[in-house]
Amino acid sequence: MGLVAPLGESKKKGSARIEPLVALVLADMERVNALILSKAGSDVAMIPEVANHLISSGGKRLRPMLTLAAARMSGHHDDGHVKLAASVEFMHTATLLHDDVVDESELRRGKLAARMLWGNQASVLVGDFLLGQAFRMMVEVGSFDALDVLSAAATIIAEGEVMQLSAAKNMATTEDDYLAVIGAKTAALFAAAAEVGPIIAGRGRAERTAFRAYGDNLGLAFQLIDDALDYGGSSADLGKQVGDDFREGKITLPVILAYRRGSELERAFWQRALEKGEIVDGDLDRAIGYLRTHNAIEDTIERARQFGDLSRDALGIFPDSAYKAALLEVVDFCIERAY
């Protein structure tokens, strides 16, 4: 598919390319996982039930791994990075719980979404609880710079979600609008997760900026691939249903490209289906057909590759190390999910 793979890696499957990172942070990650379970605990029984349903559902925990690796690569030897990594995962989990309510999702990571089992109310409130616990852990770590970066991310993520809500069902959404949405709703947490690594290790501006750029561009690539997969892949691979974005009227890059490249007839189709929400049997297949005609999925993946290149380049200032190699390979992992 035109990907330039490192020598000897060409046959490694996409999913294997996260393994070096997993292996490097294994011991730290066990402590993160124990902390996550403990901090999701509460005397109010419904809280650990709802939280653990999602926590135990097999997410990759990519974001906290970024924090751990960035901290270790920056020479951190204390244990603040474990709490920061758990905070990052809680921020992500809280976002997922709230997203499911906002999107009226039925599935999450291949399981029934928490809201289908415990109701929207529990998803909203347990999300709030986890966000509160995330901040408490950050406060315990005692770094104002880390608090600053992560609390800013919390605001930006919410801003991105509202932006997405405002852009939904609006075919006038441009590629720039779309990049602003995914930059806020997804890349901001990747960027913060990576940046707190050098922060907790006491590193300076150059290292912080480098890790931040790595996370930011990785997050953009990750979300672009997610949005491409929403019109490809299978429900089992994704942990959600193909066509969710289509049914919810989300205007993602594949659609933006196909709409702009399409005929008047095609544009009328997108407007009916996504703006008016009038979807009939066969419409998802018709949409996927138009995306193929106009190379919209392939070009979305190509954009992801470009951000992946920026992400890799951001780590260029660091000397070679096992951590650096693992973080570079995670870029491939994020992109090759699309194959």
User: By the criterion CB under 8 A, which residues form the site for a second copy?
Assistant: 42, 44-47, 98, 101-102, 120-122, 124-126, 128-129, 131-133, 135-136, 138-139, 142, 144, 147-148, 151-152, 154-159, 161-163, 165-166
Residue 70 or residue 122: which is nearer to a second copy going by CB?
122
Burial (CB count <10 Å: 0-12, 13-18, 19+), residue 254:
buried
DSSP track, 192-252:
HHHHHHHHHTT--HHHHHHHHHHHHHHHHHHHHHHHHHTTSS-HHHHTS-TTHHHHHT---
Residue 275 or residue 309: which is nearer to a second copy going by CB?
275
Closest distance to a second copy from the beta carbon of 338 (Å): 28
Closest distance to a second copy from the beta carbon of 109 (Å): 20
The SS3 call for residue 107 is strand
Q: Over the range 289-323, which residues count as b (16 or more CB within 10 Å of their CB) and which as e?
A: ebbeebebbbbbbebbbebbebbbebbeebeeeeb
Residue 113 or residue 157: which is nearer to a second copy going by CB?
157
Closest distance to a second copy from the beta carbon of 105 (Å): 12
Closest distance to a second copy from the beta carbon of 127 (Å): 8
Residue 156 or residue 291: which is nearer to a second copy going by CB?
156
Closest distance to a second copy from the beta carbon of 98 (Å): 5
* 23 in Cβ contact with 325 (< 8 Å): no
Closest distance to a second copy from the beta carbon of 178 (Å): 14
Q: Over the range 154-190, which residues count as b (16 or more CB within 10 Å of their CB) and which as e?
A: bebbeebbebbeebbbebebeeebbbbbbbbbbbbbb
Residue 47 or residue 328: which is nearer to a second copy going by CB?
47
Closest distance to a second copy from the beta carbon of 247 (Å): 15
Distance of alpha carbon 92 from alpha carbon 97, whole angstroms: 9
Residue 138 or residue 210: which is nearer to a second copy going by CB?
138
CA atoms 11, 27, 41, 98: torsion sign:
negative
Residue 135 or residue 318: which is nearer to a second copy going by CB?
135
| Region for residue 239 given its phi and psi (left: phi exceeds 0; alpha: psi -120 to 50; beta: otherwise) | left
Task: Return the closest-CA partner of residue 185 out of 206, 144, 216.
Answer: 216
